[in-house]
Amino acid sequence: MLTIVSWSIGIAALAWAGPANIVSKMATETFVAPGGRVTPIPLSHYTLPISPKYPGHDWIGISAVIFMFLFMATGFPHNISRFIGVRKVERKEFWILMLCVIIGSTSPLWVGVQGFAARAFWGGSLVSSEFAQMFGDAAAIEIALAMGPGVAGLLAAGVFAAAVSTLAGMVMIMAANVTRDLIYIYKPDISPRTMLWATRILLIPFIFLPFYWTVTAPPPVLAEFMAGAAVGQAGIFFTIVAISMYWKRATKWGAIAATIYGIILTILCPKAPIGPMVGLGHYGIWALLTIFGCMVVYFVFSLATKPLPPEKLERLFAPKTT
């Protein structure tokens, strides 16, 4: 749903503002810092110079967002399939799914188009103190409102559906991970009915915490948590869950090392006190190091440790039947 809304409003915003108008406006605009402070930094190339002072406004940040969406979108359903199962996918269906993943991963580009359209229409006013807390994030909302109630309703419905579906999936995964990967491992004789009830009970705190933070925490704090969750999920989930399903040389030590590395890097975000001190002051660099660093650690530690016995690999990777 988020992909549909991003593409729809992005294309509508491009037509509404006009490509030629966006190009001419961006050629003369300069970067306006949050709060309305005008700087002499030109936006003639749509991006800013790489600098810790203005992190995330360059091609490193854009690339990091694309990889984050791509790997998060790939790792998320793989994790869900562990618990609800998945039917055999034909080759044609597989490539359709991959096409959907690729299209979904380009959603941030259309969000950027909305930002360009808003900048061309309103200038730097969206980053003034009047829009404190949201600043440029209000671009999509303002554009949707300007284009009429139909577009505004589409945006509201899409954001709500995307948020609720993502929350529901993540809550289910977190609760099921505890029951399947912790409780079941230490008590393998537990009955399926007990595991089901344990998962249902664990849903309560996992649902309560996000709503509590939504009510009590300001949007910037929530944004930091969401950024960390997305980057950590893209690095850890995709590496350990998705790759392990196809790579026979994977080991538990590689998975453990990648998880530890991913958690540490996620905590060392640019807004953390220690993050900038260790060179992680740029959101794009932080995200890329977390995502691809998890993969490197995973492969290195797996190759450096003892592989699984052949008989166990045969059970995990059963030969295809024709």
For residues 288 and 173, what is the distance between their CA atoms, to the nearest angstrom? Answer: 24
Question: Beta-carbon neighbour count of residue 31 at 10 Å?
Answer: 18
Own/partner contacts of 25-30, CB < 8 Å, gap of 24 or more, are 25/119, 25/120, 26/116, 26/119, 26/120, 29/119, 29/123, 29/124
- Say if 57 falls within a structural domain: yes
For the question of whether the overall pTM of this predicted structure is more than 0.95, the answer is no
Q: Helix axis angle, 59-84 relative to 219-232, nearest 10°?
A: 70
Question: Beta-carbon neighbour count of residue 77 at 10 Å?
Answer: 15
Q: Band of the pLDDT at 254, cuts 50, 70, 90?
A: very high
What's the confidence (pLDDT) of residue 112? 82
Higher-pLDDT residue of 311 and 74 is 311
For residues 1 and 7, what is the distance between their CA atoms, to the nearest angstrom? Answer: 10
Domain range enclosing 143 = 1-147
Number of domains in the chain: 1
- Say if 106 falls within a structural domain: yes
Higher-pLDDT residue of 227 and 299 is 299
Q: Helix axis angle, 283-304 relative to 219-232, nearest 10°?
A: 30
Examine the pLDDT at 60 and tell me if it is beyond 60: yes
What's the confidence (pLDDT) of residue 56? 43
Q: Band of the pLDDT at 320, cuts 50, 70, 90?
A: low
- Say if 88 falls within a structural domain: yes
Residue 236: which of 78, 59, 95 has the closest Cα? 78
- Say if 118 falls within a structural domain: yes
pLDDT tens digits, residue range 132-163?
666 777 788 888 888 888 888 888 887 788 77
- Say if 283 falls within a structural domain: no
Examine the pLDDT at 203 and tell me if it is beyond 80: yes
Examine the pLDDT at 81 and tell me if it is beyond 70: no
For residues 274 and 100, what is the distance between their CA atoms, to the nearest angstrom? Answer: 38
- Say if 173 falls within a structural domain: no
- Say if 108 falls within a structural domain: yes
- Say if 53 falls within a structural domain: yes
Task: Name the token pair of 303.
Answer: 């190759």
Question: DSSP 3-state assignment of 188?
Answer: coil
Residue type, 81: S
Residue 122: which of 223, 203, 222, 16 has the closest Cα? 16
Question: DSSP 3-state assignment of 65?
Answer: helix
Q: Is the separation of the CB atoms in 10 and 144 below 8 Å?
A: no
Q: How many CA atoms lie within 13 A of 230 on its CB side?
A: 22
Task: Name the token pair of 36.
Answer: 């309305």
Helix-, strand-, coil-residue percentages of the chain, each rounded to 5: 75, 5, 20
Q: Is the separation of the CB atoms in 261 and 293 below 8 Å?
A: yes
Say what percent of the chain tops pLDDT 70. Answer: 83
> Furthest-apart CA pair in the chain: how many Å?
68
